[in-house]
Structure 1
Amino acid sequence: MKSRRFYSFYLVFLLLAGSVFSGHAIARQTAVAEKRAVGSADTKVLIVYLSRTRNTKAIAELIQQQTQGELVSIETQVPYPENYQATVDQVSRENKAGFLPKLKTQINNIAQYDVIFLGFPTWGMQMPPPMKSFIKQYGLSGKTVIPFNTNAGYGVGSGFDDVQRYCSGCTVLPGLQLKGGKERDGILFVMEGQRAIEAKAQLSQWLIKLGKDNALLNSVLSRQQLQAQ
């Protein structure tokens, strides 16, 4: 009789203990999820860019300096022509046909990144086909996406609207556009000297403004500020 009572007591004890431990485990998981949702030291940043004359690349590198994100250049399996007009004609055909070039660039674990910067020049007043290929290939649903653009002075065109359209399920923050070179006129890389200083100031103001309204980005910027002290 005593053994039965002891066995019953032991079962009740195990059930109660399991419930307590399970409750603690759920609480820990919830706390971790909430912490990650509002931004933490675990927030990871990816900076993906397409650059023909290195102006967009220069801006991507400035963003890396302020976020310590991983920098990735988009390359296509078949490179675009070196000749400017030949590239313009090819991009026009691709845009009309909805053609998306295959990418040489591969990212093994896109899931680990929380914030993704997308940098590209304006091609044919749109987002370049290779960037469309990247977004379609990786989806980016659930990510915080931040576009940035360099152009010849004619603006971003539909580029930022294209980001919204292609990044289904993403949180897309307001983008930054900067004037770069004019390849058509032989003016190529311009992000140096005083122009680089001005671009860095514009970029810093943009990031700070975005960070005030986005906890994930704010956590990244705050972390970088602490490391710089």
Structure 2
Amino acid sequence: MTEKSILTAYFSHSGNTRIVAEKIHEIVGGDIFEIVPVDPYPQQYNAVVEQAKSELDRDYRPPLKTKVGDIDSYDLIFVGYPDWWSTIPMPVASFLSGYDLSGKTIAPFCTHGGSGLGRSVADIRKLCPGSTVSDGLAVRAGNVKNSQEEIDNWLPEVGFRN
């Protein structure tokens, strides 16, 4: 794959997913894009948990601050997120449903506190029926800074070859 055919898109609340996204981007090259909702989430843990649950229950897709300019130019899209309620946060649902990603490979990765990927990969497959969605990478929050080996082992599984 050429560098310009790869996008690493991520949503990060606490910073853990950003660290993993930057590690992936450093290896794969291409472009990096932060998924940012127009209205930021609260910093207080319980408030974030309540808001995330409410959005999920209502299938609310929060508007995003920016869009990727030319999504058609990417073949492989890494999509990163924290595991919230065993799935993707709703800003990631906004991102994925905001484009026609048919024919693209989507490589999901998440950070988590013990729940792994949950049902997030299945939910991404539902949102992107015309895409090839690879098996995901789940990085435990406490292992984010030491996740390089996990990332290196996962990248060939999603079709990235150095």
**For the superposition of Structure 1 and Structure 2, which TM-score range results when normalised by the shorter chain?**
over 0.9
Q: TM-score, normalised by structure 1?
A: 0.67
Q: 1:133 to 1:208 in 2, by over 3 A?
A: same
Q: Which letter does structure 2 place at the counterpart of 1:129?
A: M
Corresponding position: 1:161 with 2:161 = no
User: Counterpart of 1:113?
Assistant: 74
Q: 2:81 aligns to what SS in structure 1?
A: strand
Given the alignment, which residue of 128, 152, 155 partners 1:204?
152
**Structure 2: gaps (5+ residues):** none
Given the alignment, which residue of 77, 93, 99 partners 1:138?
99
Q: Which letter does structure 2 place at the counterpart of 1:97?
A: R
User: Counterpart of 1:61?
Assistant: 22
**Aligned pairs, how many?**
162
Q: 1:107 to 1:210 in 2, by over 3 A?
A: closer
Q: TM-score, normalised by structure 2?
A: 0.93
Q: Which letter does structure 2 place at the counterpart of 1:126?
A: T
CA contact (8 A) 2:4 2:30 kept: no
Runs of 4+, deviation exceeding 4 Å? none
- Residue 166 of structure 1, CA deviation: 0.6
**Cα displacement string for residues 7-35 of structure 1 (whole angstroms, at most 9, x for unaligned residues):** xxxxxxxxxxxxxxxxxxxxxxxxxxxxx
**Cα displacement string for residues 44-80 of structure 1 (whole angstroms, at most 9, x for unaligned residues):** 1000001111111111111111111211111001111
User: Counterpart of 1:225?
Assistant: none
Q: Which letter does structure 1 place at the counterpart of 2:129?
A: S
CA contact (8 A) 1:160 1:175 kept: yes
Q: Which letter does structure 2 place at the counterpart of 1:147?
A: P
* Aligned-partner Cα distance in 1 for 2:121–2:64: 21
Based on CA coordinates, which of the two structures has the bigger radius of gyration?
Answer: 1
Q: 1:208 aligns to what SS in structure 2?
A: helix
CA contact (8 A) 1:116 1:143 kept: yes
Q: 1:42 to 1:78 in 2, by over 3 A?
A: closer
* Aligned-partner Cα distance in 2 for 1:210–1:116: 10
- Residue 139 of structure 1, CA deviation: 2.6
